[in-house]
Every structure is written in C-alpha cells, then in structure tokens.
Amino acid sequence: MPKGSIILQGFDVLDMTKQIARLNKKQQAVLLSNVENILGRSNPKYNEIRKLILDSTNDFSRTIVSFIFGDINF
C-alpha cells in the first residue's frame, strides 16, 4: 500500500457517489447564480461560460469518484 493511503470501511459507495453528485450540483448552482448576477442571461458570453462551468465541474466530480472508487458510473 502506498505511503499515506487510507483504508475506508463501513461506507456505501453508492451513497458516497450520490453525495458527491449532490454537492457538485449545489456548487454549480452557486457558480451559475454568481455568473448570472454579474453578466445577466442576455449576455452573449453567458451560455459559453455556463457550458464551461457545467462541463468542468462535472469532469472534476467524475475524476474524484474515479480516483477514490475506481471506474464506476453514477
């Protein structure tokens, strides 16, 4: 086992992935609300920035889940 590794026992992988997804959605909502307050939805860049935020945060969450639990779908 690599130095600094931690063994987690007594947790449900599905519950953990659902919690990560829930926190991701909450973070996305906060970020998008802030962008909307600054730019407004009518700004031509809003949709571009919105897509970038959603894609980036979803990719980051998938990376975290893959790193912790391996290759699972949630």
pLDDT of 7 strictly over 70: no
The pTM score is 0.73
CA distance 51 to 60: 14
The 10s digit of each residue's pLDDT in 28-59 is 999 999 999 999 999 999 999 999 999 999 99
Domain segments of the chain as ranges: 20-68
Structure letter (DSSP) for residue 43: S
pLDDT of 2 strictly over 60: no
CA distance 35 to 59: 19
Q: Which residues lie closer than 8 Å to 53 by C-beta, 6 or more apart? A: 28, 31, 32, 35
